[in-house]
Structure 1
């Protein structure tokens, strides 16, 4: 069996490339690359990916036992070797890392994800003090904006209001500095979600519209902000405006199609449109929400496997419970609510929705009310 080093050396020989030249092109220390190719040190996932792209190989990326802090130290060493120049390889790696974090968001533990966001943000701050071109400076600002936005979103999920506000303001400031309106639009949309969960539906509409005003045409931020407006209008009982927002979201998401990475939190996909339609119609008290909620559950949890989209499936079960209560299908409603609560994947910022179901069941004095209340209290206890 040919090992990693043999495959890379063979490719270098066939393509007429030197070890030193390769190290320079990939922005790695030549001594480190030599140790890896001689089997004295395991290749990191980042090096493996860089070599695959450079030599056109498909070597397997193996998870490393090295900590994220060690990874940051290694990147910093490379930067210093390059006379404090940030370099495209470092920026590419940081951008890929952010995308990985944004894709992990739908199912990651919020506290764990927040720690990773902090590490990446700290490294971007360090790089901003270094020597760099104007283009590299702007890429760092954009990276910092995205990371701050994601951090704010996680803080909101954890109900950490002051930290969320600080990160949102930072993200918006970096977006304006870099002239990157999509991030600023996402900031308005994220704040709209926060005030909506606080019950200020009028302000949620205003913030959603502000996001739409500055979001680039056809962007995910524009679609998400429109969906957010629809949810706020539903809470206000404004039927015409609600249905209008739903239709606009459908049209835009259909035109964009499904992205390569639909799990990416900042890339809208048609499946999200179905989820938001279910929530919006459920809040409006429209029985038409039921097929949408059931479709989300069917598509995202085949054979009851919710591991890919645990939060979205939990939300769909809450939506289904709400609309079933409206239709007085009480046993089915309690069953859906129980599934959502026992999943343990209703984040703190969304627990008020689950509480609405519990309260509605208790108001009807159903026998299941005590079990639902116990499940809700258990969910709260997990987050404490």
Structure 2
């Protein structure tokens, strides 16, 4: 889908729907619209017509807010004019560059908690600002800092597009991130571009390509960098999907060696900074995919760490994924009833991004293959919450 669809409408629609306590299915019944169409609107996969927005306004008693958003799309010329004015006023001072780099870290730290459709316009705005600054008069030092900031923002934007299943936009911004990183001679961003591509093709079922890309990323990534650790973990995932348990274990052993003395970073939620909790979470996913008997114990420990009170914890997206991992391990261990309960919790949390719904589908398929009568409960939850089910 075109990345020019304004995600503010989807964020507002989701907020008004949730205020009324409505699921997508119930809203669809009230508004006489399909659940899949409403999902596309909320995820910024499709632009609303003004008539549709007005109709949803009436159903949700939104006071015309949705119609105003649909009738007033993003004014790109105005945004660009504002950015040019900011560039002229800033003269690319050290303070401006510091604020840009702080903004990059803030956005990367928001990734685990913010809905992709809400995060996308913020990343887009920051990236546009960096682009305008690069068009101005800058010193070589300033230019490199801007190239690095732009590279991080572009790879983050590509990741968000992948989460929204907007692959054309994702590919374009991964290329932009790679080009910026090459100009800045920044190996870690180059490695993250390769690792992100590896994850994307892995979710599409091309496991050999994922393996190749993850190995390329390891060769490019600086020694000791988070990118090298992540790419090694991605290699383990690829081996798990291929079904080679021995190679999976060996890759996980390398991840453990790389993270053995790794301190918890100042901002552990930062998407591009590896931390010990993330290492264990990736191990749980990988072992569950490989069908390793040790997956259940690791997955339980991860879920307890991420969500000790059962309310989603500080990283609700990771918690939802951890529930799916543990559910998959439990099915393999002959405990489909608990697997269904965990799967339903993940699905109904609203924290499973579009690019990860295949994991819920895989859990459902495994539960149904087991012949457990509880499978119907998970199927009902998926039909209620999953996009385009």
Matched residues in 2 for 1:123 and 1:330: separation? 50
Which of 123, 140, 161 is the matching residue for 1:155?
161
Matched, 1:146 2:152: yes
Matched residues in 2 for 1:216 and 1:207: separation? 16
Matched, 1:260 2:262: no
Matched, 1:248 2:254: yes
Which of 251, 267, 273 is the matching residue for 2:279?
273
Matched, 1:128 2:134: yes
Say which structure, 1 or 2, has more relative contact order (CA 8 Å, 6+ apart).
2
Which of 338, 342, 363 is the matching residue for 2:344?
338
What is aligned with 1:44?
none
Shift of 1:238: 1.2
CA contact 1:103–1:264 (8 Å) conserved in 2: yes
Which of 177, 192, 198 is the matching residue for 2:198?
192
Segment of structure 1 superposing worse, 352-361 or 180-189: 352-361
Shift of 1:294: 1.0
Instruction: Write out aligned runs for 1:62-101 (5 A).
Output: 77=85, 79-81=87-89, 85-101=91-107
Secondary structure in structure 1 of the residue aligned to 2:112: coil
Q: CA RMSD in A?
A: 1.9
CA contact 1:201–1:232 (8 Å) conserved in 2: yes
Shift of 1:305: 2.7
Shift of 1:129: 1.2
Q: Deviations over 1:244-291 (max 9, x none)?
A: 111111121222221111100000000001100100100110120112
Matched, 1:227 2:270: no
What is aligned with 1:181?
187
Matched residues in 2 for 1:302 and 1:74: separation? 45
Matched residues in 1 for 2:280 and 2:219: separation? 24
Unmatched runs of 5 consecutive residues or more in structure 1: 1-68
Which of 108, 111, 131 is the matching residue for 1:105?
111
Matched, 1:374 2:374: no
Unmatched runs of 5 consecutive residues or more in structure 2: 1-75
Q: Deviations over 1:176-228 (max 9, x none)?
A: 01100100100000000000001111110000000000100000000000000
Secondary structure in structure 2 of the residue aligned to 1:302: coil
Matched residues in 2 for 1:106 and 1:155: separation? 14
CA contact 1:318–1:357 (8 Å) conserved in 2: yes
What is the count of residue pairs matched by the alignment? 313
Matched residues in 1 for 2:275 and 2:370: separation? 38
Give the structure with higher Rg (CA).
1
Secondary structure in structure 2 of the residue aligned to 1:258: coil
How high is the TM-score relative to the length of structure 1? 0.78
Secondary structure in structure 1 of the residue aligned to 2:114: coil
CA contact 2:313–2:319 (8 Å) conserved in 1: no
Matched residues in 2 for 1:100 and 1:71: separation? 21
Matched residues in 2 for 1:135 and 1:126: separation? 16
